[in-house]
Amino acid sequence: MSTAVADLGTAAQKVDPIDRAAASLRAASMGGFATLVELLLKKHKQSFPAEFEDRILNGQDKDGAGPLFHAAFVGHADVIEVLLAQQGIKVNLKNAKDWTPLRAALGNDNADAAELLVEDANVIATKAFHVNWNPLCHASGAGYIHVVKLLLAKDGVKDEIDLQDGDGMTALYLASNNGHTRVVKSLLEAGAKLNQESKGYLMPLYGAASAGHARIVEILLGKGADASPRTHEGDSALDASVTGGHAAVAELLMDHLTKTD
């Protein structure tokens, strides 16, 4: 049984009308019932005007998750739209594990939900706020180009563009390694450093080369990426392309190294 539904049953047993109202809203949000959510918001606001904002609209369950978090976690974009339109909604409210609705959406690969949240002017998207998790890195690695562009337009995100995520990888490295060409271009246009290292002295060029993404290798080299750095194990981008059997990438790198020698 889901936390939201179990919470609803527990609230009913306690016969606390405000807790019961809050639990019903969380359950409807998790279930993706946008029309029901609208109805509950209207009725609960009329019935409990003084407590509505803090205890119902933003009411958290035993794990610290509110209605918006539940909708984001499951990816119900229509419910998220309804909730974001409510005055007083706390868009950055964290659960017991310090996850925000934005992290819940991106962490579960709910791109549409994440896009709606990032579009909200009040959503904070910096790594500094999210505790050992970088929204830009996650969206870049997943290839969510629209989310990446929206993130780059938010306060403080460009200032952190070269920061590593919790695993020690930068946004540009993740996009390069995973073959997301449009994301790579957007990050470079926003000022991402070509030769910013990730964990183990991995560079974006190495990430693209090791995965065989010739177009991204070409873009990075064209922007001035350095092909000479080696990882902590002593491997260069060329070594990685050869080991992976990526002939087109190896040719690009050999031609580039010949021209720069």
Question: In the predicted model, what is the mean pLDDT of the chain?
Answer: 94
- What is the per-residue pLDDT for 259? 87
Opening angle at CA 88, ends 85 and 46, nearest 5: 85
Which CA distances in Å does 116 have to 106, 150, 187? 11, 10, 21
pLDDT-derived band at 9, boundaries 50, 70, 90: low
Q: Token pair of 175, please?
A: 């996009």
- The class of domain 1-123 in CATH terms is mainly alpha
Question: Regarding the domain delimited by 124-261, which CATH topology (the fold level of the hierarchy) does it fall under?
Answer: 1.25.40
pLDDT tens readout for residues 31-43: 999 999 999 999 9
Alpha-carbon gap, residue 8 to 20, rounded angstroms: 6
pLDDT tens readout for residues 212-228: 999 999 999 999 999 99
Alpha-carbon gap, residue 7 to 61, rounded angstroms: 7
- What is the per-residue pLDDT for 48? 98
- What is the per-residue pLDDT for 169? 95
- What is the per-residue pLDDT for 11? 45
Q: Which residues pair with 198 in a beta bridge?
A: 202
Predicted TM-score (pTM) of this structure? 0.90
Which CA distances in Å does 91 have to 103, 104, 170, 225, 247? 11, 12, 26, 39, 48
Is 1-123's fold the same as 124-261's? Answer: yes
- What is the per-residue pLDDT for 15? 59
Of the chain, the percentage scoring pLDDT greater than 70 comes to 94
- What is the per-residue pLDDT for 54? 98
Q: Token pair of 239, please?
A: 């070594």
Q: Where are the domains of the chain?
A: 1-123, 124-261
- CA nearest neighbour of 114 among 77, 140, 83: 77
- What is the per-residue pLDDT for 200? 81
Per-residue pLDDT at 20 exceeds 50: yes
Per-residue pLDDT at 94 exceeds 90: yes
Alpha-carbon gap, residue 225 to 204, rounded angstroms: 8
pLDDT tens readout for residues 165-196: 999 999 999 999 999 999 999 999 999 999 99
**Angle of the 247-260 helix axis to the 214-222 helix axis, nearest 10:** 20
